[in-house]
Structure 1
Amino acid sequence: MTDKINIIYISLNGNTKYFVECLSDYIKTTKDVVVESLNIKDLKGESFPVDEPFVSFLPTYLNGGNGIHTGDKEVLTTRLGDFIASNDNFKYCYGIIGSGNRNFNNQFCLSAKQYAERFGFPLIDVFELRGTQSDVKRIANLIIDRQEEFLNKL
């Protein structure tokens, strides 16, 4: 059984941070698992090598286009991608969870889908804005399952 979960995320307006905090509290109280989280925003562009498995959370902020035919450009959250790419940290990431606003239609959670493709790890799940309690429960179980699978492959 997993005894610790590492979460590396970026939160700019607080929605993702709020969700990660709710998720961490839920996992600690119901699963008796320690959760350590890091908001990449706090590193101010710095990086370091990761040597433990982690899951990543990424909100979608896009500029222009419709995400399909007329393109898209990720804005504001590229520091997370830079961190995951640096020092081959992506090798320790067992998945990503996306968040966004469903009003963005095809662009809903598009950045997380793009990261999964770019780095070769799975898109575990998605949630809207600050998420719901059912999102927290569902994603907590998915993270624990994915981490167990990842650890068994090491």
Structure 2
Amino acid sequence: MSAITAESAVAPVTSRHTSSRLIYFSSASDNTHRFVMKLGMEAARLPLHTYEETLLAQEPFVLVLPTYGGENRLGAVPKQVIKFLNVAENRNLIRGVIGAGNTNFGETYCIAGDIVAEKCKVQHLYRFELMGTSVDVDRVHEGLEEFWTRLSQNRTQL
């Protein structure tokens, strides 16, 4: 079995369709991108610019997103994420949210994750600061494995 490298972990955007179970947005700072790369899991990145076509999820997924706007809720969810979630098929397939933020912003730390989780009626599974620590990476990696296992077990019991 070949190891997933930072270069191969992001699904190449040859089509706007993705079957990745991890979809994320990262700004030009690439903090969220670096965190996702450390997870070593296949992931699909939302386009950096809103004028680009957004992704179309084909399978259930967890969304990783940063919080924008500092100490203000207004504008906390990146426009690219809003565009992606305005596609009904994408909204129907979201299963959880992982939020990135900056603790310097106090009460609005990772608020974009809270907003998306509330609007999409899913759990805000984890929060990490900036590009995360090695502890965050381990917890998210293990947590996602458990999350997908539980989800598949629940589906087979229905």
1:37 and 2:52 aligned: no
Indicate how the Cα distance of structure 1 residues 152 and 51 shifts in structure 2: closer, same or farther if over 3 A, else same.
Answer: farther
Q: Distance in 1 between matches of 2:35 and 2:80?
A: 19
Q: 2:39: which partner in 1?
A: 23
Which string of whole-angstrom CA distances, capped at 9 and with x for unpartnered residues, describes residues 19-54 of structure 1? 000012xxxxxxxxxx32122125744135322121
**Contact map agreement 2:47 2:53 (CA 8 A) in 1:** no
Q: Which runs of 4+ in 1 moved over 3 A?
A: 42-45
Which string of whole-angstrom CA distances, capped at 9 and with x for unpartnered residues, describes residues 66-86 of structure 1? 45xxxx212571211221230
In structure 2, the residue corresponding to 1:8 is in which secondary structure?
strand
Q: Larger relative CO (CA 8 A, sep 6+): 1 or 2?
A: 1
1:137 and 2:153 aligned: no
Indicate how the Cα distance of structure 1 residues 48 and 87 shifts in structure 2: closer, same or farther if over 3 A, else same.
Answer: farther
Q: Distance in 2 between matches of 1:39 and 1:5?
A: 10
Tell which deviates more after alignment, 112-121 or 85-94: 85-94
Q: State the TM-score, normalized to the length of structure 2.
A: 0.76
Q: Distance in 1 between matches of 2:69 and 2:111?
A: 9
Higher helix share: 1
Instruction: Tell me the number of residue pairs that the alignment of Structure 1 and Structure 2 aligns.
Output: 135
Q: 1:28: which partner in 2?
A: none
Structure 2 unaligned blocks of 5 or more: 1-18
**Contact map agreement 1:62 1:75 (CA 8 A) in 2:** yes
Structure 1 unaligned blocks of 5 or more: 25-34
**Contact map agreement 2:47 2:54 (CA 8 A) in 1:** no
**Contact map agreement 1:98 1:125 (CA 8 A) in 2:** yes
Q: State the TM-score, normalized to the length of structure 1.
A: 0.78
Indicate how the Cα distance of structure 1 residues 62 and 135 shifts in structure 2: closer, same or farther if over 3 A, else same.
Answer: same
**Contact map agreement 2:67 2:77 (CA 8 A) in 1:** no
Q: 1:57: which partner in 2?
A: 64
Which string of whole-angstrom CA distances, capped at 9 and with x for unpartnered residues, describes residues 62-109 of structure 1? 26xx45xxxx21257121122123032122221110011101000100
Alignment of 1:88-127 (within 5 A): 88-127=89-128
